[in-house]
A and B are shown apart, each in its own frame.
Chain A
Amino acid sequence: MNVVDIESTLQTLRHKAFEELRSLQDVRALDDWRVQYLGKKSELTQISRQMGALSPEERPVVGEKVNEARGALQRAYEEMQAELAQRELNRRFAEETIDVTVPGRRHARGSMHPLTQIIQEIEEVFLGMGYEVVEGPEIETDEYNFEKLNLPKHHPARDMQDTFYLTETLLLRTQTSPMQVRTMERMRPHVPVKVIVPGKVYRRDEDDATHSHMFHQIEGLVVDEGVRMSDLKGTLEHFARAIFGANQSVRLRPSFFPFTEPSAELDIRCTNCGGSGCRMCKGTGWLEILGCGMVHPKVLDGAGYDSRRYSGFAFGMGPERIAMLKYGIEDIRLLYQNDLRLLRQFNRVL
């Protein structure tokens, strides 16, 4: 064996090894290739062993050649190894690819009834202003539902509220206002009184698109020394902005309720047209949203707060009307029909 032979053998070997390497498909074949070309029994190892037969001058030259060949094969092996690993990974990814458009496993969220949602929202607004939430009986006495609210028997204003009577003296409350009196009687002589009263009320009305024999009200009552009608207006403006948007504005219009004097209706800017006038607001740009006023001196005195010293305001609103305005529900009966196709739309967080 001479240097030239060895060199030519190495040349052939490298050529053959690279060719084979290029055709490899998997890690096992690569392993076999490594054993064959870089292993203990490989041709390269055998060539190294034969180097003893060379002259001392030739030996380093050939050694260098062999090492160079080994290095080249080793690098090629590592590159191929990385490439195969990458190919393997790619194959796995291809295999494991899923359709991300398939719907996920969801937990049905359930839904809160729109009325509860509105009532809760309004409660939060007034809780934030320091109001206590109180509730009262739906079956009321004539005395609390009417008489103590300055609505004596046979008063024509009783016609405003056709009543379901249970007995001569017991009835289904037509308003949450009796809780004004009950609350004052419970709290006197303590001030300030600051409560809201959500609850169901009943009127002897034929059910239609705008009337329901059962509906909800939220009553508000504040009694203290020096409570002004301007405080009522400011409080309700705060409420209107919280519920209908920060740019809302309100106006008070004179009205009549037996248990407030002065009395007013509160209008907000039409939620549909923003005030320019449309069918919903009958062209006025305003929507009537609630009734309110300063607690009538007779009611205050009757409930134990001297009207010469204390004053108060009260308001009463209908969550149905607010829900209908807010969500564009056009028929009040839909709120009591409980069609899940409607209710399930209320599974969202506002």
Chain B
Amino acid sequence: MKLSFQWISDYVDLHDLTPETLADKLTGAGLEVEAITPRNQGVSGVVVGEVVACEPHPNADRLRVCQVNVGDGPLRTIVCGAPNVAVGQKVPTALPGAKLPGGSIGVAKLRGIESYGMLCSAKEIGLETKLLPKEQTEGLYVLPADAPVGADIVEYLGLDDVVLEIGLTPNRSDCLSIRGFAYEIAALLDRPTTFPEDVSPETSGASPVQVRIDTPLCQRYEAQAFTGVRTGPSPLWMQMRLMAMGIRPISLPVDITNYVMLEWGQPLHAFDLDEAHEHTIVVRQGRSDETLVTLDGESRELTEDTIVIADPDRAIGIAGVMGGQNSEITAQTKAVVLESAAFDAISVRKTGQRLGLRSEAQQRFEKGIDPQAVTGAIVRATQLFRDLAGAEAWGGVVRATFHDAYAQPTGTVVEFSPERCNRLLGTQHSEETMRDVFRRLGFTVESTEGQVWRVHVPPRRPDISLEADLVEEVGRLAGYDRIPTTLPVGPVTVGARNASQTLRKRTRDVLMSCGMSEVVTYALTHPSDLDKLRVSPDSPYRQMIPLLHPMSEERVALRTHLLPSLAQVAAFNMAHGVDGGAIFEIGRVYWPTKLPLEEQPCERTQWAGLWFGETEPGIGERARPYDFYDAKGVVETWLQALGWQDEVRFAPVQLSWLHPGRSAEVVLNGQRIGSIGELHPETGAAFDLHRAVYAEFDLDVLVSFLQTSWKVHRMPKFPASRRDLAVLVTKDVPVQALLDTAREVAACDEESILEDCRIFDIYTGKGIADGYKSVAVAFRYRADDRTLTDDEVVRVEQRILDAWTKKYGAVLRTN
């Protein structure tokens, strides 16, 4: 909402305030001033000049040499290039020494002739050209014929004004008007409003108009008929005020309705009375298959929800949204009817949304108008039609209400306890202070003696209906800075994270300590990502929840998989000169139980990691591509940190987005918790990645495995016996199988003496037959109660070897 400092000054005394001080007060009261813009963009020394002669320039085709009367002194010779310059015009004339937003003006020689100033266009004197009709923006800005020659243009156009741009919160519909703001500012400054008294003009005879309201969606409807309405432009002062408020001047009748709307917050609509058959206006709801061509030439469908202005035969306007073309005022119009009404906010909003329209008038209806302004505005407009447009009121105002109760708007009564007010704010405002706040706001207070006051709120403040609303008014006007700082006094509570949050925090800490960088990506993606993952058409991953109205083409549905997001981050980084990296995200995927969606879907929390490009080498090391085992190492470190290392198994798996020979599922206590593998080359290529390793884990499954406590192992009392074995097996034997077999064999004994076994070398190449590998395993044997003898150890070792041979054809390497 824009606010003209000049205009508001008509209704509250602001002589001792600068616009900046007013802005501070408004912002401090919750009406946030977002910008302060002087209307005068730096114009001085420009006066109204009259072109009294205009000759072609002897040396230039496009230039004219004009003689301009500027009131005092001789005529000024001014060279002008504007094509529309003509004798008799009054135009803004910048004299030598004048300042314009574009620079200063001096005496200049143009093609041999000295020019004593410049004739100006609208743009040159800093007017908002986008609010002016095209003919006024091309060439000189031609002033009305009655413009006083020699007058200062800033004063004449009222440009010595400042406009405050205010970000209104939706509750303050009362401030969508100058008068509403005047009440607010008067309350803030504790000054009276200085509204002129609007008197209904004298009228003769009865109004020809009949009004009937057939729908509860219209509370009140008032109509005033006129004859002899002059059209043409509105006076310049009115145009300038409209422009200050961001409204485009159009023509006298339209400008008057807009002017009154800005002043009163009440939208008005004027239309051709004779187009309303039988001079009868019917306000009703639309009918199915009813249409109306609106002022913009579009054919609009009317529905049951639409409030329609009609005559007995047909629709002639959509209430609060747009008039009908069939009742538009034209040059042939003999009688005009002016409408001022209260339409249902929700209905107008729905209609506007349905038709994709959003006018100033509509916005005011949507936010709720002051029922008292319906009458005030039509009286004010009637005055202006009479004074400015030479119109004659044809009869008085015709008023109709849907229900008798609407005849006199009364406002509301809200109960208010000063004690509760202080208790809610934590303040110690006196009753005196509170009474004073209500007085300034123009609320009347009944029975200030008792515990509970009855506060009468006028209908112009529909935002106030509860005690809490009044408490805010007290807090606001007494000043939020008077609220002290305290802390809640309730019982002690213990802050806590839940298991899922704890698991995520620990996971993040471990992954970071493994050198991974956390990323945060958008949850909205595109289904084509799944093609890159090579998932089948009937895969559940294809069940992405779509947005009804996406904002962009790329982000249309909720992701079911984290890989595309991470792959895109990797590709972005590779394209920006990053050699490689290890990234992870802890985020949600969205799995619907059914599409189209009927209930809130399952939102699963996962962590996913991607290792892409090359490792960062230390001194003397060489960069190499991240591989499966880099990723697996991180995963194992994470599993170990959470105490799951011993229960976890990796097993080959087939997933469409992973390399079939280099991917594993990760199983914890028989349940799959995630997977890890090199990207399938086609998936990698689809994301512009040469090679990368991906891992993902379902944290929702893992929450149930989270350990809350654990105990240390006792320190051993007897020494361990360490032995190594190297065996040859075929390449396809998983080393994990050898370790598992060794543990199983040792576990057969009553007392297992195998404390630990681990792989320490895997070798292929020279000296090893094709298709075979040498696997070296380190064993550690120990007993709780004695030092083991060689015999004991060798016996177990031999049984392990036998089992390996039997199961996997292992051959002991002896050299």
Contacts and interface: CB of A to CB of B under 8 A. Distances in A.
Contact of A222 (B466, B471, B488): B488
A156 B578 contact: no
A191 B511 CA distance: 38
B576 interface: yes
Nearest to A152: B346
B468 A294 contact: yes
Nearest to A102: B619
B495 A131 contact: yes
A262 interface: yes
A226 B472 contact: no
A116 interface: yes
Contact of A338 (B487, B492, B515, B520): B520
Interface in A209-230: 213-214, 222, 224-230
B501 interface: yes
Interface stretch (A1-9, A30-38, A248-256, A268-276): A248-256
B588 interface: yes
A103 interface: yes
B426 A204 contact: no
A164 B520 CA distance: 20
B512 A261 contact: no
Contacts of A129: 495
Contact of B172 (A120, A127, A206, A256): A256
B581 A112 contact: no
A110 B513 contact: yes
Given A159-B170, A213-B551, A235 B472 contact: no
A40 interface: no
Contacts of B521: 336, 338
Contacts of B27: 253
Interface stretch (B242-250, B319-327, B596-604, B647-655): B596-604
B618 A105 contact: yes
A229 B501 contact: no
B424 A228 contact: yes
Contact of B480 (A106, A157, A234, A254): A254
Interface stretch (A41-49, A61-69, A79-87, A340-348): A340-348
A126 B495 CA distance: 7
Nearest to B172: A256
A231 B488 contact: yes
B547 A127 contact: no
A108 B187 CA distance: 62
A253 B572 contact: no
Contacts of B597: 166-167, 170
Given A234-B485, A341-B576, A112 B518 contact: yes
B475 A127 contact: no
Contacts of A116: 508, 518, 520
Contacts of A261: 466, 468-469, 471-472
Interface string B413-437: 0000000000111110000000000
Nearest to A115: B520
Interface in B475-525: 475-476, 480-481, 483-498, 500-501, 505, 508, 511-524
Contacts of B603: 137-139
A316 interface: no
B583 interface: yes
Contacts of B466: 261, 297-298
B170 A157 contact: yes
B328 interface: no
Interface string B559-586: 0000000000100110010100111000
Contacts of B427: 229-230
Contacts of A304: none
A239 B97 CA distance: 57
A133 B497 CA distance: 5
Given A138-B523, A156-B367, A231 B487 contact: yes
Nearest to A308: B420
Contacts of B475: 229, 254, 262
A216 to B, nearest CB: 9
B169 A256 contact: yes
Given A110-B514, A156-B170, A157-B171, A253 B480 contact: yes
Nearest to B569: A338
B501 A254 contact: no
B28 interface: yes
Nearest to A113: B518
Nearest to A312: B488
Interface of B: 27-30, 32, 169-173, 345-346, 349-350, 366-367, 423-427, 466-469, 471-472, 475-476, 480-481, 483-498, 500-501, 505, 508, 511-524, 545-551, 555, 558, 569, 572-573, 576, 578, 581-583, 588, 590, 596-601, 603, 616, 618-619
28 contacts: A110-B511, A112-B512, A126-B495, A130-B495, A135-B501, A137-B603, A138-B603, A139-B600, A139-B603, A154-B349, A156-B170, A167-B597, A214-B524, A224-B490, A228-B424, A229-B424, A230-B484, A230-B485, A231-B486, A234-B484, A252-B483, A255-B169, A298-B466, A336-B522, A338-B519, A338-B520, A338-B583, A344-B517
Q: A-B pairs with the 8 shortest C-beta distances?
A: A230-B426, A254-B30, A108-B515, A228-B426, A256-B169, A262-B472, A127-B495, A130-B493
Given A135-B501, A192-B490, 10 more contacts: A206-B551, A226-B423, A228-B425, A231-B489, A233-B483, A253-B30, A256-B171, A262-B425, A338-B573, A343-B519
